[in-house]
Structure 1
C-alpha cells in the first residue's frame, strides 16, 4: 500500500491501478488488499432501531436517569458529569456539583477529569493500531522492545489481558523510589524493575491478575515502536483524529495547556494533591470529558482507528481458567448486564477521581460517568443500569452478583 501512495503522489493513478488489478490474477491475497484500499473507515456500523424507541420514549428514559442522579447527588454525595446514549442518540447529559469546592467552580459537561483506569482502553487501542500496521505482534516478547527487561516469557498479549504476573509498580515504587517529591516516569519504573527485580507474582499466562504495571510497560513499548513519546502518539493518532479537543495526557505543564480541569477530592471533600506516581502513563494519566468520551464511543462503531475484526478480538475475552462472572479483553472488562446482554466496560479510581464507561453493542448504548469525589457514589450505578437495561422476566431471580461497579472501582 505504501507503493500505491507514492505513485498517487506522482499523478500515476491509472498506471498504478492497472498494475494492481494485474496482480490480482497472480496473488491470492489481492482481494484483501483491495478491500483495505477502498475501505471507508468513517462509515459507521449500522443498527436497526426498534419502533418502540421514539423521541418520547428517549425523553422519558432521560428523565428517569436524571432523577436517579439527582437522588445520588442528594443522598450519596455524587459530584460529577454524566452522559448516556441509546441507539447512538444522546438521551441524557448533565453535570452535578463543583470542579473545585473551594472556589465553588461549577462542573460542566466540558470539564476534564483524570480517567484513572479508563485510560487503559486507549493504551490498548494504541497497541492494536500498531499491531494492525504490522509494527508489532501480540505474541512478541517484551524483550524484543525492552532488551534488559528482567522478566522472561511475557508477551504483549499477556500485558494487554493482565496475565503477565508482574508486581504492581504503585506498591514497589513506594519502597524503591528515593524521592517522592520527584515525579517518576515510565522509564523510571522500568529502571527500578531492572535494578531491583521485584518478585514476580506468578508464572506468565497461568491466570488473571489485574496489573497496572503491565499497562505502563505497554505505553513504553508504544514509545519504542512509534519512536515518539507516548503522549505525542496518543494526541497525534487518537485524540486529534477523533476531534477530542479536551483530552490530553498528564504532564508537568498540563494545567496550563488544557483549560478547565476538575480537582480530585477524597472522602470528606479533602483535596487530593498531585504526587510522584501521577506521571506514569498508560495505566492511567489520561484526562478527558464526557463529551470527548462520547466521540470515542461513537468512533468504536466505525473503522476510523482499527478494523472491526481487530476490535472484535479486543472484546473477545481472555480468561481460559475456570469460568468467571467477568472476563477481560484488551483494556476492557466483559460481563453480562441486567438485561442479559454482554457489555464491555471499565471503571477507575485514582487520587480523588472515580470513573466509569460502559458500552452495550446490542443497542449502541453507553453510560459514561466521571466523578472528582471518591465517596463511593459510583457503587450505585446499578440503579441506572436497571433503567437502561431492564431484566427480562426469566432473569429476575438470577444471581445476586450482578454489580460490576465495586470490582470496577476498587482498584486503579
Structure 2
C-alpha cells in the first residue's frame, strides 16, 4: 500500500499541482494581456483625436494671437505656452520666450511646466477612480483611513470642494517642522497629528480654498491603493491617456527630468532670478504635477469624452458644491466653476514662479491652456483676450474644411 501511494498517488498529486499552477499563470497572463490591450486601445483613441485645423482656416486668428503673444512677451515678461482648442481640434499652439535664461534656450513643445494648483484636478480624478472602483465612498471620513487624524468628521467631499476647514499645512511646515529636508505627505500627516493646530471651522460650514485638503486626498489615494500617489496617477491616468510628458515631482525625493523648467522672477526689471525650492515642495496632491500644453489637451479630451471617468463622475466634478446650510460653493471636485456661468470650468495655479491656467467654456466647446514660468500675473486677463480674439477672428466652415483636417 505504501509503495502504491509512493509510485502512483504522489506523482499524480505533483502533476495536478503543476497543471493548476500552469493554468493559473496562463490566466494571469491573459488578464495582463487584456489590460495591455485596453491601455493600447485608449492610447490609440486619444492619439487619433488630436486633430488640428489646417493653416488656411486659422491664418487670421493665428496672426492676431501671434501679435498678442509678442506684445505680452515684451511688455509683461511672458515666457510660456498657449494652446487653444475649439470643437475637439487644436486651433492654435505656440511657445514664446526662454526656457533657461542663463543658456538662452527657447521654450518648445517639449518644455515641461509645474502646474501648481491646476494639479488638483488630477488628485480629484484619482479619488473618483477609487470611488468608481468601490474602494471608497465620498461620505467616508479621513479617520476611516487615518484613525489618528485630529480633525474629526471631515469627509472626502469636504476635502474635494474645500469645505473641510482644515489649517494651512504651509504654516504647519514652516513653524512646526524641525528638519532641514522638506516633509513628504506621510510625514506631514504625522505632523498634523501632533502639532495641535486648530481648524478654521467645523466641516461643511464654509468654503475656504485649501491646499491642505488636497494633500490629504493624495494621502488617502496612497493609503487605499498601497502605492505612491505618483505611481497611482502614472499608471491610471498619464499612461492610459498617452500623457508621456506628464509626471508628479516631489522635491528631495524625485530626480528632475531633462525638459523640466525652473520658475523665475524678474529682478529690477531686467534680470531673471531662479526661484529656490521651499520647505513645502515635497508635498503632492495640491501641486507638483508637471506637464505640457499638449498633454493637458489630451487630458481634457479624455475627461470630457468619458474614456477615463464616467459621465456621472464628471458631472460631480463640474458641479457647484454646497455648504451644510445649502449655500452654493464655486468649486466642484478639482475645478473652479464661475459664480455666474456654470459652463465656465477652470483652474489657475501659482507657485514658485509658475503661473498656469486651464479654462473650458463648455457651451462654446472651447479650451484655453496657458502655462508660464516667470511669475506672469495676467492669466485671467490673457484668457479673456484670447477668447475674444477667437470669437472675432475664427470662422469655422465645416463644409469647406472638413476634408482638410491635419493629424498630429
The aligned counterpart of 2:100 is 100
Secondary structure at 2:259's aligned position in 1?
A: coil
- Residues 194/389 of structure 1: CA separation in 2 closer, same or farther (3 Å cut): farther
- 1:171 Cα offset (Å): 1.6
* 152-161 vs 361-370, greater mean Cα deviation: 361-370
The aligned counterpart of 2:356 is 355
| C-alpha contact 2:84 2:369 (8 A) present in aligned 1 | yes
Residues 1:303 and 2:303 aligned together: no
- 1:314 Cα offset (Å): 0.8
Q: 1:236-255 to 2 correspondence within 5 Å?
A: 236-251=235-250, 252=252, 254-255=254-255
- Residues 167/241 of structure 1: CA separation in 2 closer, same or farther (3 Å cut): same
Unaligned runs of 5+ in 1: 1-5, 11-39, 45-52, 391-412
- 1:67 Cα offset (Å): 2.1
- 1:228 Cα offset (Å): 0.7
The aligned counterpart of 2:381 is 380
1:10-30 alpha-carbon deviations (Å, 9 max, x no partner): 9xxxxxxxxxxxxxxxxxxxx
Matched residues in 2 for 1:389 and 1:78: separation? 23
- 1:342 Cα offset (Å): 1.7
Q: 1:127-276 to 2 correspondence within 5 Å?
A: 127-179=127-179, 181-251=180-250, 252=252, 254-256=254-256, 258-268=257-267, 269-276=272-279
- 1:300 Cα offset (Å): 1.4
- 1:58 Cα offset (Å): 3.8
| C-alpha contact 2:253 2:282 (8 A) present in aligned 1 | no
Secondary structure at 1:195's aligned position in 2?
A: helix
- Residues 41/303 of structure 1: CA separation in 2 closer, same or farther (3 Å cut): farther
Matched residues in 1 for 2:131 and 2:226: separation? 15
| C-alpha contact 1:59 1:91 (8 A) present in aligned 2 | no
Q: Out of 302, 319, 323, which is 2:322 matched to?
A: 319
- 1:213 Cα offset (Å): 0.3
1:118-158 alpha-carbon deviations (Å, 9 max, x no partner): 00000000000100110001000100011110011100000
The aligned counterpart of 1:370 is 371
- 1:365 Cα offset (Å): 1.7
- Residues 77/323 of structure 1: CA separation in 2 closer, same or farther (3 Å cut): farther
- 1:59 Cα offset (Å): 3.6
1:91-119 alpha-carbon deviations (Å, 9 max, x no partner): 11111111111111211121001110000
1:351-387 alpha-carbon deviations (Å, 9 max, x no partner): 1111110112223221111111103242431222333
1:233-253 alpha-carbon deviations (Å, 9 max, x no partner): 011111000111111111346
Structure (1 or 2) with the larger CA radius of gyration: 2
Secondary structure at 1:279's aligned position in 2?
A: coil
* 375-384 vs 106-115, greater mean Cα deviation: 375-384
- Residues 352/65 of structure 1: CA separation in 2 closer, same or farther (3 Å cut): same
- 1:41 Cα offset (Å): 7.8
Matched residues in 1 for 2:138 and 2:59: separation? 44
Matched residues in 1 for 2:275 and 2:136: separation? 38
- Residues 253/165 of structure 1: CA separation in 2 closer, same or farther (3 Å cut): closer
Matched residues in 2 for 1:225 and 1:364: separation? 35
* 187-196 vs 140-149, greater mean Cα deviation: 187-196
Matched residues in 2 for 1:131 and 1:124: separation? 10
Matched residues in 2 for 1:194 and 1:341: separation? 38
- 1:70 Cα offset (Å): 1.7
Matched residues in 2 for 1:221 and 1:389: separation? 42
TM-score, scaled to structure 1? 0.78
Unaligned runs of 5+ in 2: 1-23, 29-40, 47-52, 393-408
Matched residues in 2 for 1:374 and 1:244: separation? 25
1:210-237 alpha-carbon deviations (Å, 9 max, x no partner): 0000000000000011111111101111
Matched residues in 2 for 1:245 and 1:281: separation? 19
Matched residues in 2 for 1:217 and 1:105: separation? 38
- 1:284 Cα offset (Å): 0.4
Instruction: Name the structure where helix makes up a greater proportion of residues.
Output: 2
1:157-186 alpha-carbon deviations (Å, 9 max, x no partner): 00000000001101221100113x312111
- 1:299 Cα offset (Å): 0.7
Matched residues in 1 for 2:98 and 2:273: separation? 13
